[in-house]
């Protein structure tokens, strides 16, 4: 996998060439973080330090240095323009699924200090608290002053649903993966969602296994309504990642993945269109 892979497409409804997704594994150096991410209003990225062995499998990754206020981080490799960093939801067909995964290291199963990882879409990058503001749609995991951990789905300023489990069922020093999925429904301003926690091993290189705390699978699903992201032509993807006050909690992150996948019928039609285009080109060349 390349250090930074960007999927882009020209939007039918705008002149922008919004992205359809990206993969960043931070293996090529600090610039994969500093050159491709920004804080609110395009400020320099803060809250993380790149390290050559800080990621999964002892490869490049980020150490979480922010332990206090919200530090929303946006994928934005060209801060002067939205056109290579935003998602055009207004041009997504019904049934389009947007998937996201983020790998993280859990360092302690005894601390109660706040630690969290939240990832999702926001309508602008002007707000430092964007992922907890109106119209944001985000999935996350948080430990907030107790021994429990909460998997949650946020819809604007409140939780759409949540699931608590004891952090003692996690393994200190092991890697986990937060998975977040949105599917654009046929009902205006409505999305189906799934937020799940996966275990990926002590080095972060194992095949993801849905985490079970001994009594239940750690996953939630449902529907969110009244989301203006549904027709947003310039939606940003953002991360809020913080560790405990003495860096106990989520201490390392790696492998940021986001992708918009058309629903099956649209994907087939797109595939047929590509095949037809290729056949036409071959016909012209042979003529």
Tens digits of pLDDT across the chain (287 residues) = 345 677 755 433 344 458 999 999 999 999 999 999 999 888 888 899 999 999 999 999 999 998 776 678 999 887 777 878 999 999 999 999 999 999 999 999 999 999 999 999 999 888 888 898 888 999 999 999 999 999 999 998 889 999 999 999 999 999 999 999 999 999 999 999 999 999 999 999 999 999 999 999 999 999 999 889 999 999 999 999 999 888 999 999 999 999 999 876 544 444 444 344 344 434 333 44
Record the pTM. Answer: 0.88
By the 8 A CB rule, do 25 and 58 touch? no
Which domains are assigned to the chain?
4-286 (2.60.120.200)
Q: pLDDT value at position 15?
A: 42
Percent of the chain at pLDDT above 70?
86
- In the chain, DSSP finds a helix count (H) and a strand count (E) of 2, 17
Question: What is the rounded CA–CA span in Å between residue 123 and residue 234?
Answer: 7
Give the number of other CB atoms < 10 A from CB of residue 102. 24
Q: Tell me the CA distances in angstroms from 26 to 52, 109, 119, 142, 146, one per residue in order.
A: 9, 27, 18, 24, 32
Length of the chain: 287
pLDDT score at 17: 55
Q: Which residues contact 122 (CB under 8 A, 6 or more apart)?
A: 72, 130, 131, 133, 135, 136, 138, 235, 236, 237, 238
| Closest alpha carbon to 91 in 157, 172, 20 | 20
- Over residues 152-195, the pLDDT tens digits come to 999 988 899 999 999 999 999 999 999 999 999 999 999 999 99
pLDDT at 132: 87
For 197, the 3-state DSSP assignment is: strand
| CA–CA separation, 242 and 68 (whole Å) | 7
Predicted confidence at residue 223, as pLDDT, reads 96
The confidence score (pLDDT) of residue 136 equals: 93
How high is the pLDDT of residue 4?
65
What pLDDT, on the 0 to 100 scale, is given for residue 83?
77
**β-pairing verdict for 19-24 and 4-8:** antiparallel
CB 158 within 8 A of CB 133: no
């Amino acid at each position: 996998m390349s250090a930074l892979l960007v999927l882009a497409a020209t939007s039918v409804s705008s002149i922008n060439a919004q992205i359809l997704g990206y993969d960043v594994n931070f293996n090529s150096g600090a610039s994969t973080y500093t050159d491709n991410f920004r804080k609110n209003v395009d400020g320099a990225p803060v809250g993380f330090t790149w390290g050559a062995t800080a990621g999964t499998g002892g490869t490049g990754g980020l150490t979480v240095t922010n332990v206090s206020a919200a530090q929303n981080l946006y994928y934005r490799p060209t801060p002067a323009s939205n056109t290579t960093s935003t998602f055009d939801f207004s041009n997504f067909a019904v049934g389009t699924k947007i998937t996201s995964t983020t790998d993280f290291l859990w360092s302690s199963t005894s601390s109660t200090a706040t630690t969290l990882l939240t990832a999702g879409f926001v309508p602008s990058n002007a707000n430092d608290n964007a992922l907890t503001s109106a119209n944001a749609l985000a999935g996350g995991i948080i430990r907030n002053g107790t021994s429990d951990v909460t998997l949650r789905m946020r819809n604007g300023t409140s939780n759409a649903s949540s699931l608590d489990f004891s952090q003692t069922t996690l393994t200190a020093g092991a890697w986990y993966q937060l998975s977040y999925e949105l599917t654009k429904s046929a009902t205006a301003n409505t999305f189906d969602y799934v937020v799940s926690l996966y275990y990926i091993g002590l080095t972060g290189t194992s095949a993801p296994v849905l985490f079970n705390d001994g009594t239940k699978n750690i996953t939630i699903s449902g529907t969110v309504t009244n989301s203006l992201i549904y027709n947003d032509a310039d939606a940003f993807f953002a991360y809020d990642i913080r560790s405990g006050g003495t860096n106990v909690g989520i201490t390392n992150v790696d492998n940021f993945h986001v992708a918009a996948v058309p629903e099956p019928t649209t994907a087939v039609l797109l595939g047929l269109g590509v095949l037809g285009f290729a056949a036409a080109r071959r016909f012209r060349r042979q003529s």
